[in-house]
Every structure is written in C-alpha cells, then in structure tokens.
Amino acid sequence: MSNRRDVVVIGGGPGGLVVASVASQLGLKVTLVEKSGRLGGDCLHSGCVPSKTLIRTARVAHLMRTASRYGLPECNPEVDMDAVIDRVNDVIAEIQVHDDPERFRSYGCEVVFGAARFTGPKEIQVGEDLIQGRRIVIATGSLPVIPPIPGLDEAGYETNETVFSRRQLPQHLAVIGGGPIGLELAQAYARLGSRISIVEQTDQILPSADADVAGCLADVLAAEGLVLHTGRQVTCARRDGDSRQLQLDDGNTIECERILVATGRRPALHALGLDVAGVEHGRSGITVDRRLRTSQRHIYAIGDVSGPYPFTHMAEYQAGVVLANLLFRLPRKTDYRVVPVVTYTDPEVAQVGLTEKTAVAQGIRYDVATFPMADIDRARTDMATQGFLKILLSRGRIRGASLVGAHAGELIHELALAIQLGAKAKAVTEMVHAYPTYAQIHRRTLNARYAKLFYSRKTRFMVRLINALLP
C-alpha cells in the first residue's frame, strides 16, 4: 500500500510530537511514525520525567533524615522501592495522557507504530506499508553510549533506559560517568539509602562546567557520602555471583551490587536507511544546516539525532524552527547562543551563554561578578545556602552565567533573557526583585561587582561637589 502525505515525522518524542501536532492542526496530511509502540520519547519514559520524580522522592527522604536542621525531629524512613517506582510510573501515566495517540488522531494526524526505513529520498517503509512524504522530519532521538570496557557485558549494567524498572534498592551502586545523568541518579539513590561510587575519566565531574562550579557540587556530594573517582578510567569489569567489581586504572577496585552506565548519548540512526535516502550523517548525528535541513532539502532532522544539545527543550525549539520553514517557507535559522543547561542535583547547577572556559577558547575578554548564595536572605531561611552565582560581563553586557544553588534551573531564565536581549548589567540592577526571594541574587551579584566603582574617590568627590553647589 502506498500512502502520499504532506509531512512524515519519524519519531514520537517531544520534537516530533510538536511538528506532527501543529502541522496536522493546520490542515496538512501528516503521518507520525514511532518505533517503540508508545508516544512521548525518552524524556517521558526513561529520562526527564522519571528521573525528576525519583529525585523529588529522594529529596523528601533526605529532608526527613536532616529534619533537626529545621527544628523538627529526625527520622530515617524505610524506603519501599516498589512504592517509589509505582509513583514514578503514576507520574509518567499522568503526563502520557497528553501524548495519547488518539489525541493526535483527533487532529487528523495518522499515527503508525513500527520501525521506519527509507527506501528512497521521499519514501519510507513501515512494515508492509510504503509512505511517501513531500517533507520528512527525522526525530528519532538518541541511545545510551556504552563504553568498550572488557567484561562489562558479562558483569551486567543498567542505563537510564532500564534503571527505573528495577524495584530493588542496591546496597552499593557504581556509576560510570560524572555528567548530569550520572550525578542526578547517583545522588537520588544515595539519598534513598545506597552507597555510591562515581567514576569520571576527566579531572572533574560535569566536565563542561567551569572548575569552580564543578568543585562546589563535588564538595556537596562528598559531604553526603558519595565517593568520587575523578581522572580515573575503568579498565575492566567482573561479576562474582551477586557482586560486581570495577577495576580502575590506578589499581583500585570498586566492589558493588549494581553498575549504572551514564557516559553520554549517541544519535539513534541505526536501520533508518539514511544512505538510501542520500542523507549525510556521521558519528555526531545527521548533518543539518541552520534551517535544520539535511543534504536532502526536503528532509529535516531535529533533537538528539542532529544535536548539538540533547535536551527536550532544544528538540521543542528546533521543532519551531522546522515548522516555520516547512509550513510557511520562512527562512528561520537556529540560534544556539542562549541555551539554558540544568543539572538537577541538589543544589541544582544551571548555565547559560558563555562560561569562562568558552570565553577563553573564543578569545573573548570578560569580567566576572560572583556572589554567594549564603548571603541571600531567602536561602538562609530555607537553609539552602550552598552555591553561588557567577556572571560573565563583556563591555558591560551580560554574556553568560553559571549558578549553583536551590532553584537554579528556574533562576537562570532571567539571565537567559538578559543575554538574549543583549542587556547591560544596568537592566538587571534597576529591576525590582521581590524580597525575600532567591532571584535577588541576580541584582546583588552585579551590585557587588560595581560597588567599588560606585564608592570610588571620584564618585565621592562628585557627590560632595554637587551637594555643595546645588541648593
């Protein structure tokens, strides 16, 4: 059977769903193809949603154990992992309602479950059916990267795609990878009662972050009992009954009950038949231009499959770019200069725009303004004083920010908007921030930076002169 469509979307994750929803509601003939048998993608089923749900449960357990800090009696909760995972699944189910196939069918979108494979530049095969598309959008997401560690397959391991199906709390969990996924899950399991060892091959956790940012979070994790092995590689893995061992390159051995691999993601390109379609691709994913067109101009690629950021909010942003080009033929291009990045540990780590690392690499001259979270009154009331804000300034304009602290993922957006608008520091310092809120850290950081200039001899002389001359 041959089926001619205006738009074919391959992949039912966040980006693909946005394209399919909008295009079908605007009257185009759309087919959405999803391999897994359910819509929502990795974010809903094995990424953002389950991990943040688990993190919240773990934080509650942590607060119960440390309740004396708030003048309340402490208690050590007995963690029922069955109940914890049931809650994770309940939250997924609640959100899944928005990704119900019938909802998309009500828009006029054809939803097909099965593996898609190109049989030509404008033709896709799904099972026995051939679907022809005037425009095609590839949004197949990514898969966990599994490092080539000898013995790892035999030892057995978890990834973010499997860990949420396990209903036993491990006594000792070894995490390979000190990036966002590894750190978020490591801290969550530690707060639920597991002993945690983290192995990161670079010299710091969060390798892309500035050293002071990563160091602040490392201190917090170490204080909670997590053992960090930075600058180390796993040379081999073994299994002995219910026990696993990871051999490190410094001669140390980590003995654990389970292994979690969190060493990054790779584009899910396997079996798509991209060569048949004439779509250029490589190890980093599908090659696209700034309009997200592939080497075949009628084929677009969005989300993890094309990069450069493996985030749900990036896939949704890219979907908007594609829709502008696909629906209205507007030459909208991507702009990745202002992309908030958040690690949902406690405290959270958020970054937008330039870091000191990227500023140095790009040869950009900058000034730094910093302020400790401990000097924010609301942080004191909440006993959430860990962390700091660092703002990078160039010629008086805000060019980047890194924030470690409570609610960092929410707070970073004010600075993201400032960077987007090309705002100067003055725009933030003159903005009224409610008291007491965490958001006051934005104004106080910049005020502290310019205080020396404001209270300089020159300024004091000018004030005395003005007040002497004017009535």
Q: Where do the structural domains in the chain lie, given as residue ranges? A: 2-39+100-144+266-328, 152-264, 341-454
What span, in angstroms and rounded, lies between the C-alpha atoms of 291 and 303? 13
Note the pLDDT tens digit of each residue in 92-132. Answer: 999 999 999 999 999 999 999 999 999 999 999 999 999 99
Identify which has the larger pLDDT, 150 or 466.
150
User: Please, what CATH class does the domain formed by 152-264 belong to?
Assistant: alpha beta
Cα separation, 125 vs 272, in Å, equals 10
Q: What percentage of the chain carries pLDDT values higher than 70?
A: 100
pLDDT, tens only, 297-322:
999 999 999 989 999 999 999 999 99
Query: In sequence order, which ranges of 202-302 are alpha helices (DSSP H)?
Result: 211-223, 274-277
The predicted pLDDT at position 454 comes to 73
pLDDT band at 340 (very low <50, low <70, confident <90, very high): very high
Residue 460: predicted pLDDT: 83
**Residue 2 pLDDT > 90, yes or no?**
no
Q: What would the pLDDT profile of 352-384 be if each residue is shown by its tens digit?
A: 999 999 999 999 999 999 999 999 999 999 999
pLDDT at 433: 96
Has residue 394 got a pLDDT over 90? yes
Indicate whether 86 pLDDT > 90.
Answer: yes
- What is the mean pLDDT of the segment spanning 238-255? 96
12 and 40 Cβ atoms separated by less than 8 Å = yes
Cα separation, 345 vs 100, whole angstroms: 30
Backbone angles phi, psi at 234, to 5 degrees: -85, 120
- CATH number given to 341-454: 3.30.390.30
Same fold for the domain at 2-39+100-144+266-328 and the one at 341-454?
no
> Nearest to residue 316, comparing CAs of 293, 292, 299?
292
- Stretch (H or E) spanning 401: strand 397-405
Return d(Cα 45, Cα 160) in angstroms, integer: 10
What's the rounded Cα separation, in Å, for the pair 118 and 77?
53
In the three-class reduction of DSSP (H, G, I as helix; E, B as strand; rest coil), residue 173 is classed as strand
- Rg of the chain taking only CA atoms, in angstroms: 25
CA 327-333-338 angle, to 5 degrees, is: 125
CATH 3.50.50.60 correct for 2-39+100-144+266-328 = yes
User: Residues 316-353, buried b or exposed e (16+ Cβ, 10 A)?
Assistant: bbbbbbbbebbbeeeebebeeeebbbbbbbbbbbbbbb
Of 350-359, 416-425, 446-455, least confident by mean pLDDT is: 446-455
> What is the model's pLDDT at position 1?
42
The pLDDT confidence band at residue 457, using thresholds 50, 70 and 90, is confident
Residue count of the chain: 471
Report whether pLDDT(201) > 90: yes
Mean pLDDT of all residues belonging to the chain:
96
